[in-house]
Structure 1
Amino acid sequence: MSIPPTRLYVGDYEEYHPPRNFGWAPAPTAGLYVVPPERMDLDMEFAGYMLYLGGSDPIRVEPIKD
């Protein structure tokens, strides 16, 4: 399964030392809370979702300039 490139705003970044144990392997070492542009007018706590980095799912993040 693939998700096309998507523009997201980063709301928060967390590093986990040691990696966070969610019950899957490998355990993620960081988390990015992201919000889609169309949801920026909502309460940030409920507008986005967390992407876990360093786990088994390949995620590529690239900063963009407007």
Structure 2
Amino acid sequence: MHHDAKRRSDDRAEAFKACKAHWGTGYSRGGKLECDEYPFAATYQGAAQAKYDPAAPKTTKYSARR
């Protein structure tokens, strides 16, 4: 788990990109649905891990759901 607010924000932004790519820009249906990521944004393995860890795989290793 990490406490870096910028990294958490980057993790969420990567997950949001995945939600938009899969379900379109209106994926939240007017705010009724959310984009959730796993591993969670507060963990080391969050969606932006490759941006922060040069040894991390550069492929997508997370999931997003709405």
TM-score in terms of structure 1 length: 0.29
The structure in which a higher percent of residues are helix is 2
TM-score in terms of structure 2 length: 0.29
The structure in which a higher percent of residues are strand is 1
Higher RCO (CA 8 Å, separation ≥ 6 residues)? 2
